[in-house]
Structure 1
Amino acid sequence: MLGVDEIEIVVAHQERATLRVGDVFLKVDTDQTRTDVEVAAMALAPVPTPEVLWRKPPVLALAALPGTALGRLGEPSAASPAAWAAAGAAARALHDAPLPPWPGPCLDDLASALDAECSWLLTHEVLPRDLITRNRRIAEDALRPWTPVFTHGDLQVAHVFVDGDEISGVIDWSEAGRGDALFDLAVLTLGYEERLADVAAGYGSDADVDMDVIRAWWSLRSLTAVRWLVEHGFDPSAPGCEVDVLRARMRGT
């Protein structure tokens, strides 16, 4: 920590903030339940995770990971096909691990969230009606029974770090729990459909990667994220982000 020239604000909104101070990340969270889940999940996960340096609620201190993020939503990924395949292999290792002792989202809650968010989008005319209704129809294919596995719950590209072609660590485990394996794969490839083949190759079985369900999760994830993003100061309409993901479904791609 000596000789630190500046503090970097990684992300900050009303609920959480993450600061980087030298080689240490300080996570401040108003909900200690999320931090409890994060610490417990990292201890159980069979993939590389940041070292927990100390915890003094509401602050969690984590060591920085080597390498760089697999990508940033809305930006091209510079990672190699091998690195994307390694991300798929890491997801497979996690999904094959014993279930965590706490539950995950249930179908009824997900269906209610989809109803509520689509209603809000329509009422506030945030997106065109046909864009919402088309994607909602697609999203409903994700709402089917699944065999629960140990999921990260927010396996976006910014949370997967690579060093060359290897996974150096996975961060932000506060949404981890029992869930649908295809949800993790969908979040990982959201906005990067062209990388799905590499992820599937690393995951190890094309039979386990149902493209229709992954497309459904792309739509559901995007529809249910727009309001939160807007209310927390992010732009889901930025190129390559959630609204573009929804538009791609209108083109049938």
Structure 2
Amino acid sequence: MEEVEIVVAHSERATLRVGGVFLKVDADQARLDTEAEAMALAPVPTPEILWRKPSVLALAALPGAALGRLGAPSTAPPAAWAAAGAAIRTLHDAPLPPWTGRRRQGPAELAAELDRECGALVARGILPAGLVARNRRLAEGALRAWTPVFAHGDLQVDHVFTDGAGVTGVLDWSEAGPGPALFDLATFTVGHQERLGDVLSGYGAGVDPAAVRAWWSLRALLGVRWLVDHGFDPFAPGCEVDALTRP
């Protein structure tokens, strides 16, 4: 008898797996609509939509395995990471989707959000002031104007599946829309920073590794408090706080 596996769950949404079917349950129907539209437009492999109902999207499982997991070393070969980089570039080179996207802030709005989050992290005692201040300075490198691309918006490493050296699919498109390319690259590599060179070898020219590092700090500072408040552990090995404490 097959069991129900809780892949991820919090107050906003949950993903369940039953055999070869994933059920995404979301309190925000707009996120599910965005996910379906993005998968239809994205020029990279995506899961098959089996059916849609209000607040629920059923997806077929992808072949292969996730490229990695936060907090665990990846055994995937460099060629698989390069293939993922090439797939990300294909997505970023595609025409922009016809919606505004959730990550529509410009540098000024991001800077204001970053200041609020840094203040909250220190005021609540989540992180020491020195660590926050150092990474706030590093994050300055991300607060520059960018040209929007077709961005995934939540490109965690376990959302990309590979089989050997090829990408078999990319999951979880509910945050997709026009956005900064470097946010996707930083999200993808933040827990496996030693793989950045492999990813960029597939992604191609035009990316400064130092700029990706700035986005590692920005992304982590913006995410730690949300993770704590929703029952996740950003202090786990390889996760957000690790990214902040690395030299």
In 1, the alpha carbon distance for the partners of 2:4 and 2:215 equals 36
Alignment of 1:16-165 (within 5 A): 16-104=13-101, 105-107=104-106, 108-165=108-165
In 1, the alpha carbon distance for the partners of 2:86 and 2:208 equals 17
TM-score normalised over the length of structure 1: 0.94
Give secondary structure in 1 for the equivalent of 2:238.
coil
| Deviation readout 1:173-207 (Å, 9 max, x if unpaired) | 111111111111111111211111110111122xx
Deviation of 1:111 after TM superposition, in Å, equals 2.0
| Deviation readout 1:205-225 (Å, 9 max, x if unpaired) | 2xx111221111100110111
| Deviation readout 1:47-93 (Å, 9 max, x if unpaired) | 00001111101110000001111111111011110100000000010
Alignment of 1:100-249 (within 5 A): 100-104=97-101, 105-107=104-106, 108-205=108-205, 208-248=206-246
| Deviation readout 1:90-113 (Å, 9 max, x if unpaired) | 001001100111124221332222
Q: Supply the AA of the counterpart residue of 2:36.
A: V
Q: Which segments of 5 or more consecutive residues in structure 2 lack a partner in the other structure? A: none
Which residue in the other structure is 2:3 paired with?
6
- Structure 1 runs of 4+ with >3 Å offset: none
TM-score normalised over the length of structure 2: 0.96
| Deviation readout 1:125-160 (Å, 9 max, x if unpaired) | 111111001101111211111111101011110110
Q: How many residues get paired?
A: 244
Q: Which segments of 5 or more consecutive residues in structure 1 lack a partner in the other structure? A: none
How many percent of aligned residue pairs carry the same amino acid? Answer: 69
Q: Supply the AA of the counterpart residue of 1:75.
A: A
Q: Supply the AA of the counterpart residue of 2:52.
A: R
In 2, the alpha carbon distance for the partners of 1:137 and 1:174 equals 30
Give secondary structure in 1 for the equivalent of 2:125.
coil
Give secondary structure in 2 for the equivalent of 1:173.
coil
In 1, the alpha carbon distance for the partners of 2:109 and 2:21 equals 36
